């Protein structure tokens, strides 16, 4: 039988931390400092009690006659804080070389507000006539309340101020827009995706956002680059923009199927001439007064990619030989009259409609209607 699981509330966990059963997490710098202090203390006499054979850090602090300190509550020296205050005021309002006026740093609100909070903390801590002068935690609380925040902000101001005292180049960084990192920061993945798109461009199929989603959803790509979830089409469109692609009409170069050749031009003009002769004969029949039924030969061609000539193309891509047409076609041929409608057999009722697949790969009629 498996033992039942027990879940502790945050309040219970806090009580266990206070009693020394659970050690709270520390920053790496705080943990190194704490271990250094405790290791420098000679070990106490061994106890017969087995529960005290491995004393906790809280017991070690009790052995040396003190309580475990809050590292963020330990105040820095007044001189160190005063020097940091001068530097941060100079960083917030740097003067021009002439000494007249201040430079506009064009800081974002996040960085500016955090630096102002640090300045307020250091000013309150180093001020002689301040009620919180020389009191590190009280000064941080007063500074946090002044900018409309509470205890968490006070703790953050203490951390940032200590970091600034150690290194003047460390300033608050605005994390806006950096919570989600794009997959394109992986140079290997970006190179593989770019190579895949180049191969798609050479196959006359064009590039779509769905193909980017399919490529990044392949099991081998997911396992190789550690992709955790599938991207959406909108994200794929963003990736294509970043990689230099734009959505436009097909880049057309020279035709590769003999478009506008001399033999095609001659056939077109012969057909136009014969059509004019037939029109003259129709007019003579109408003038005789006999009932004439006009049957129109209707031909409609439908393509597999009608009105789908747009795709994603790289900004530096060159036009390639263009194949006339918009994919596989299907021609529907029939006869129609205004008096009788579509032409059908008088006895069999068979329709005169013919479906034809134009092109050299047609299996019937050699691609022509006879």
Report if residue 136 sits inside a domain: yes
Last residue of one domain, picked from the residues 107, 134, 166: 166
Same domain, 112 and 147: yes
> What letter does residue 292 receive in the DSSP assignment?
-
- Report if residue 257 sits inside a domain: no
For residue 44, report the phi and psi dihedrals to the nearest 5 degrees: -80, 170
Identify whether the C-beta of residue 291 lies closer than 8 Å to the C-beta of residue 338: no
Query: What integer is the mean pLDDT of 308-332?
Result: 70
Indicate if 125 and 192 belong to the same structural domain: no
How many structural domains does the chain have? 3
363: pLDDT strictly greater than 50: yes
Burial class (CB in 10 A: 0-12, 13-18, 19+), 158: buried
Q: Is the pLDDT reported for residue 246 higher than 60?
A: yes
In a domain, 68, yes or no: no
Query: pTM of the predicted model, to two decimals?
Result: 0.36
Compute the half-sphere exposure of residue 125: CA atoms within 13 Å on the CB side of its CA. 32
Please classify residue 141 by burial: count the beta carbons closer than 10 Å to its beta carbon, then call 0-12 exposed, 13-18 middle and 19+ buried.
buried
Name the domain boundary from 137, 166, 195. 166
Indicate whether 159 and 188 sit together in one domain.
Answer: no
- Percent of the chain at pLDDT > 70 equals 58
Domain of residue 193: give its range.
183-243
Domain-located, residue 212: yes
CA angle 152, 122, 107 (to 5 degrees): 75
Would you state the structure tokens that stand for residue 1, as one six-digit string? 């039988």
Per-residue model confidence (pLDDT) at position 298: 83
Between 121 and 327, name the one with better pLDDT: 121
- Specify whether 158 is located in the same domain as 90: yes
Half-sphere exposure of 103 (CA within 13 A, CB side): 13
CA distance 184 to 182: 5
Q: Which of 106, 141, 166 is the last residue of a domain?
A: 166
- 8 A C-beta contact, residue 170 and residue 159: no
- Same domain? 158 vs 188: no
**Residue 356's beta-bridge partner residues?**
331
Residue 370 has a pLDDT of 55
Q: Are residues 127 and 200 in the same domain?
A: no
Q: Verify that 160 and 118 share a domain, yes or no.
A: yes
DSSP 351: B
In terms of domains, do 133 and 201 share one? no
Q: Is position 265 within any domain?
A: no
57-86 residue pLDDT tens: 555 555 545 555 555 567 888 898 898 888
Cα(355)–Cα(367) distance, integer angstroms: 11
Q: Are 88 and 153 contained in the same domain?
A: yes
Please report where in the chains the tokens 């029939």 appear, as a residue: 334
**pLDDT of 239 over the 50 cut:** yes
Rounded to the nearest integer, the mean pLDDT of the chain is 72
Regarding whether 149 and 119 lie in a shared domain, the answer is yes
In terms of Cβ atoms closer than 10 Å to its own Cβ (0-12, 13-18, 19+), residue 115 is buried
Task: Round to whole Å and give the CA distance between 216 and 239.
Answer: 11
The residue among 144 and 370 whose pLDDT is bigger is 144
Which range has highest mean pLDDT (8-22, 115-129, 300-314)?
Answer: 115-129
Q: What is the predicted pLDDT for the residue at 172?
A: 74
Residue 5 confidence (pLDDT): 37
Residues 156 and 190 in one domain: no
For the chain, the residue count is 370
Average pLDDT over residues 206-224: 88
Lowest mean pLDDT among 135-139, 242-246, 263-267, 352-356: 263-267
Q: Verify that 88 and 159 share a domain, yes or no.
A: yes
222 within domain boundaries: yes
Confidence tier at 320 by pLDDT (50, 70, 90): low
Q: What does the pLDDT average to over 119-147?
A: 88
Q: Is residue 165 helix, strand or coil?
A: helix
The pLDDT of residue 226 is above 70: yes
- 222, pLDDT greater than 80: yes
Residue where the block lists tokens 């963003």: 238
Q: At what angle do helices 136-146 and 109-126 cross, to 10 degrees?
A: 140
DSSP state of 217: T
Q: What percent of the chain has pLDDT over 90?
A: 2
Give 251-261 pLDDT, tens digit per residue.
655 444 444 55
* 347 within a domain of the structure (yes/no): yes
d(CA 237, CA 319): 22
Question: Would you say 256 and 323 are in contact if contact means Cβ atoms under 8 Å apart?
Answer: yes
Residue 162: inside a domain: yes
């Amino acid at each position: 039988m498996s033992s039942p699981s027990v879940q502790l509330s945050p309040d219970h966990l806090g009580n266990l931390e206070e009693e020394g059963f659970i050690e709270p997490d520390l920053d790496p710098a705080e943990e190194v400092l704490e271990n250094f202090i405790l290791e420098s203390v000679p070990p106490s006499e061994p106890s017969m009690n087995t529960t005290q054979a491995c004393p906790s850090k809280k017991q070690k602090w009790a052995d040396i006659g003190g309580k475990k300190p809050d590292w963020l509550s330990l105040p820095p020296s007044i001189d160190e804080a005063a020097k940091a205050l001068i530097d941060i005021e100079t960083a917030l309002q740097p003067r021009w070389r002439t000494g007249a006026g201040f430079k506009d740093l064009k800081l974002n609100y996040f960085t500016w507000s955090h630096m102002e909070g640090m300045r307020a903390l250091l000013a309150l801590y180093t001020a002689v006539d301040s009620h919180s002068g020389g009191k590190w935690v009280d000064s941080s609380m007063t500074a946090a309340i002044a900018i409309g925040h509470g205890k968490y902000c006070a703790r953050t101001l203490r951390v940032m101020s200590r970091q600034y005292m150690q290194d003047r180049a460390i300033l608050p960084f605005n994390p806006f827009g950096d919570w989600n990192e794009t997959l394109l920061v992986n140079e290997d993945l970006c190179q593989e995706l770019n190579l895949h798109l180049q191969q798609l461009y050479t196959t006359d199929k064009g590039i779509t956002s769905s193909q980017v989603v399919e490529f990044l959803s392949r099991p081998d790509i997911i396992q190789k680059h550690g992709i955790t979830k599938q991207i959406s089409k909108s994200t794929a469109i963003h990736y294509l923009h970043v990689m230099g692609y734009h959505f436009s009409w097909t880049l057309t170069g020279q035709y590769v199927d003999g478009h506008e050749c001399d033999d095609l031009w001659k056939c077109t003009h012969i057909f136009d001439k014969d059509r004019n002769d037939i029109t003259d004969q129709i007019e003579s029949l109408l003038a005789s007064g006999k009932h004439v039924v006009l049957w129109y030969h209707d031909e409609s061609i439908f393509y597999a990619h009608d009105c789908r000539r747009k795709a994603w193309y790289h900004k530096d891509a060159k036009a390639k030989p263009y194949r006339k047409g918009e994919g596989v076609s299907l021609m529907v041929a029939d006869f129609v009259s205004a008096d009788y409608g579509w032409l059908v057999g008088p006895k069999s009722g068979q329709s005169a409609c013919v479906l034809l697949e134009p092109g050299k790969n047609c299996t019937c009629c050699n691609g022509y209607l006879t």
